[in-house]
Structure 1
Amino acid sequence: MTLGNRSERAADEGPRPALAAAGARLGLVVALLVVAAVAWWWSAEQMRGMDSGPWTALGGLGWFVLLWVVMMAAMMFPSVAPTVALYTRMTKTRTPVAPSAFTGGYLLTWTVAGAIAWGVGAASSRVGGDALAWDSGGRALAGAALIFAGIYELTPLKSVCLTRCRSPLGFLLGSWRDGSLGGLRMGVRLGAWCLGCCWALMLALFALGVMSIVWMAFVAVLIAIEKLAPWRSLVTYGTAALLVVLGIVVLVAPTAVPGLTIPGMRDMVMM
């Protein structure tokens, strides 16, 4: 059987090999989950009182990228931990260097994505100005972003990227590189597939409030369910419907969305 055939056969097995490897590498998985828990705590502390609702100001580049990396560790490590465990089980080295390089490459992709997101946000604020304020076009833009994220769930590109994320064994067999540098490259590549899978969900996070720990947790749960739950079609269509409905409610009755901070509402209450 060729490597390509083995990769296709592994892709059909879904996340089961990774979950089995996670059980065998329990210590590594626990370590990643501990890092994720610390990242959740740190993110909550840093974002306390900063949630201004949809399209919250992102602050300076350095501060935002640092917070973004920690957020990605918090949101992604629980769902990517089984893949890291499977990679560690398959690699010939028994040192922590290779899995660290693999995980670092994964985060590197998301770091670049965060810097790009900051650049787009800064440029949009500079060009759009008050036109993107909540009472102007911001509300419509937030609702449209959520509806678009729901529609993206049903696109072929989303399906291809999600297949790679849900089939760690197929991904590893199809892109294997030896050594720490190879692990770094594989981590970057896995991060790219994950980015293709989840970027619209991240857009939804910005549309709901990127500095909100509640919406951060909401998106993290959606990502974990999509990658690990066995009922792929049900999860995909359910997520799409949820995002579309959420976008419609934001457009017609935003105050009905629990946990959504309406820009300017806090100041009106205080007055």
Structure 2
Amino acid sequence: MLSDRIRAMSAPHWLTLFAGIAAAWGALYLMAVPAELRQFGAVYGAEFWASLCVVTPDAAGLARMTLMWVLMSGAMMAPTVLPALATYEELGQTGAVTSMGRLLGGYMAVWLGFSVMAALMQLALFQAGLLDPLGQSGVDWLSALLLAGAGLYQFSALKDACLDKCRSPMMFFLSHWDEGAWRNGVRLGLVCLGCCWALMLLAFVGGVMNLAFMGLATAIMVFEKLPDLGRYITRPLGGLLIAASALVGFGLI
């Protein structure tokens, strides 16, 4: 029952997980660039951001960007996987805490890999002059391409297949139970990546350290994975993203 699941989530390991999610959001808040500084950057250009050393095209800059993406992945993706973690714990019975730790470790290992790839992509686009130092697209065609790609992906068979597994975690785990917690975590991470990678890359449109974008994207991804509500979100969202792509591409917004 729902009440039993809620009571189970008051156990110390759940409270530790919730504290970790809150800490990731807190770190992102401290690292985020205030709106006022964004406005100053738009007025004064590259010299303003260079003076603040927001991003540098070197190993130190790549390390900072990777850290940003790791924090974003933890803060944004951990809430979306909570129902799956609860289901796994219910199935696990003995040794559930240790097993769930391995499951979460495998899951986050996938998102760590994504974070490294996203940081490399951000650095490459920045060096090409397509992103500003905040990780936001500086050219309309790139924004339109990212929006269109994410919108079209909402209609893909791969997206549907991944969402089906995320919406039915019990069937997913029972299909691979004998593989162990770590491998199940990696599988779950790959499925979740298949659901969310295109939406995560829209950070290059909304701004990598834009808390408003991160909050909205997290809410969308959480609701999209819900068994009942999610089915009414995926395709309408795809249509909205494609429409936004057209508006950006034609310079209307």
TM-score normalised over the length of structure 2: 0.79
Question: For residues 4 and 169 of structure 2, what CA distance do their matches in structure 1 show?
Answer: 11
Match of 2:117, SS? helix
Q: State the distance in 2 between where 1:217 and 1:20 align.
A: 27
- Using the TM superposition, name which of 158-167 and 66-75 deviates more: 66-75
Runs of 5+ unmatched residues, structure 1: 1-16, 255-271
Work out whether residues 164 and 171 of structure 1, in 8 Å CA contact, stay in contact via their aligned partners in 2.
Answer: yes
Using the TM superposition, give the Cα deviation of residue 37 of structure 1 relative to its aligned residue in structure 2, in angstroms: 2.1
Answer yes or no: is 1:201 the counterpart of 2:186. Answer: no
CA distance in 2, matches of 1:250, 1:231: 29
With over 3 angstroms needed to count, the CA separation of the structure-2 counterparts of 1:30 and 1:245, relative to structure 1, is farther
CA contact (8 A) 2:89 2:96 kept: no
Q: In the alignment, what sits opposite 2:103? A: 102
Provide the residue aligned with 1:138 in structure 2.
Answer: 139
| Cα 1:95–1:137 shift into 2, 3 Å | closer
In structure 2, C-alpha distance between the alignment counterparts of 1:242 and 1:93, rounded to whole Å:
46
Q: Distance in 2 between matches of 1:206 and 1:190?
A: 25
Q: 1:241 deviation in Å?
A: 2.1
Contact 2:69 2:118 in 1 (8 A): no
Aligned residue in 1 for 2:252: 253
Question: 1:261 — aligned with what?
Answer: none
Per the alignment, residue 157 of structure 1 pairs with 158
Whole-Å separation in 2 of the counterparts to 1:98 and 1:214: 34
Aligned partners of 1:229 and 1:235 also within 8 Å: no
Judged with a 3 Å threshold, the aligned counterparts in structure 2 of structure 1 residues 220 and 89 are, in CA distance, closer, same or farther, namely: same
Q: Which deviations, in whole Å up to 9, do the C-alpha atoms of 1:32-73 show, x marking residues without a partner?
A: 3332222111111112348679xx976523222222222222
Aligned to 1:172: 173
| Amino acid across the alignment from 1:25 | A
The higher-RCO structure (CA 8 Å, 6+ apart) is 1
Contact kept? 1:166, 1:228, Cα under 8 Å:
yes
Secondary structure of 1:96's aligned partner: helix
Once the two structures are superposed, the pairs formed by residues 185-200 of structure 1 within 5 Å of their partners are 185-200=183-198
Kindly provide the CA deviation profile for residues 165-191 of structure 1, in whole angstroms up to 9, marking residues without a partner as x. Answer: 11101110111136xxx2121111100
Offset at residue 20 of structure 1 (A): 7.8
**Which residue in the other structure is 1:221 paired with?**
219
3-state SS in 2 of match to 1:145: helix
In 1, Cα distance between equivalents of 2:187 and 2:82: 16
Contact 2:224 2:231 survives alignment (8 Å): no
SS at match of 1:154: coil
Structure 1 equivalent of residue 19 of structure 2: 34
Residue type matched to 1:35 in 2? G
Residue identity over aligned pairs, in percent, reads: 32
Shift of the 119–229 alpha-carbon distance from structure 1 to 2, 3 Å rule, reads: same
Query: Would the aligned equivalents of 2:148 and 2:245 in 1 still touch at CA under 8 Å?
Result: yes
CA distance in 2, matches of 1:65, 1:20: 39
How far apart are the structure 2 equivalents of 1:58 and 1:175?
42
Return the alpha-carbon distance in structure 2 between the equivalents of residues 150 and 242 of structure 1. Answer: 7
Q: Partner amino acid for 1:253?
A: L
Question: How far apart are residue 21 of structure 1 and its match?
Answer: 7.2
- Output one character per residue of 1:83-142: Cα deviation in whole Å (capped at 9) or x when no partner: 11111121143353211111111111001011112222333444xx24x368x9721111
Is the 2:131–2:204 contact (alpha carbons within 8 Å) kept by the matching residues of 1?
A: no
How many residues were matched structurally? 228
C-alpha displacement at 1:159, in angstroms?
Answer: 0.5
Structure 2 runs not aligned, ≥5 long: 43-48
> Is the CA contact 2:87–2:170 (under 8 Å) kept in the aligned structure 1?
yes
**Aligned letter for 2:244?**
L
State the match for 1:112 in structure 2. Answer: 113
Query: Are the structure 2 counterparts of residues 77 and 146 from structure 1 closer, same or farther at C-alpha, using a change threshold of 3 Å?
Result: same
